[in-house]
Chains A and B, each alone.
Chain A
Amino acid sequence: AQSVTQPDIHITVSEGASLELRCNYSYGATPYLFWYVQSPGQGLQLLLKYFSGDTLVQGIKGFEAEFKRSQSSFNLRKPSVHWSDAAEYFCAVGAAKLIFGTGTRLQVFP
């Protein structure tokens, strides 16, 4: 069955610290992988996506993600977090339709 697991429900980091949000997937074919961010009261904004090619993907707002097929992972990273990055982050997988993980809520302390 197709599924996405985000092991961390809630992460707290200090502003300026590095960040890594974990995402593991189960998918029968070559996965199409996405990271979205949802700020409070807002819709979903696409941060980055991976289909093929270079396994290190650059996205908006300084985020990047690395696809590791052997680990079935697509972890999201940022070298230095800003207070405005506080939001809910969703990993998703799919081709004809998306399956979402449960999300990770990021809190940033000044």
Chain B
Amino acid sequence: SAVISQKPSRDICQRGTSLTIQCQVDSQVTMMFWYRQQPGQSLTLIATANQGSEATYESGFVIDKFPISRPNLTFSTLTVSNMSPEDSSIYLCSVGTGGPNYGYTFGSGTRLTVV
């Protein structure tokens, strides 16, 4: 399965600032996703990162708050903009693979604390 490198692993940020999270995959993948896991909660899909086009956002998430880039098939970034304490969460990158090894692999996550 694909190996995902996600950076930073954790950060503490001031409210009102922005943080960009990077996700690097060791192979080309078509499907790439960003999830949020709020403290003590399950995972919620933020958006699907589409290579060469705008990301597809889930209900409740908007591009102005969570801009996403996907310049190629191995890399994506998620920016958390104008942060507030409510944005304190773990953000996870995920990739989907098809064929006989169909499934989803997750990065180790970015633990974000907004103060």
8 Å CB interface, A63-110 against B? 90, 92, 96-103
Specify the main secondary structure of chain B where it touches its partner. strand
A90 adjacent to B43 (CB under 8 Å): yes
Interface size class of B (residues with CB under 8 A): 20 to 34
A96–B56 Cα gap in the complex (Å)? 12
Q: Does B60 contact A (CB under 8 A)?
A: no
- Checking B41, B104, B107 against A98 with a beta-carbon cut-off of 8 angstroms, the contacting residue is B104
Q: Which residues of A contact B (CB under 8 A)?
A: 32, 34, 36, 41-44, 46, 49, 51, 90, 92, 96-103
A sample of 10 cross-chain residue pairs with beta-carbon separation below 8 angstroms, ordered by A number, consists of A34-B103, A41-B111, A42-B108, A43-B92, A43-B108, A46-B103, A90-B42, A99-B45, A100-B44, A102-B42
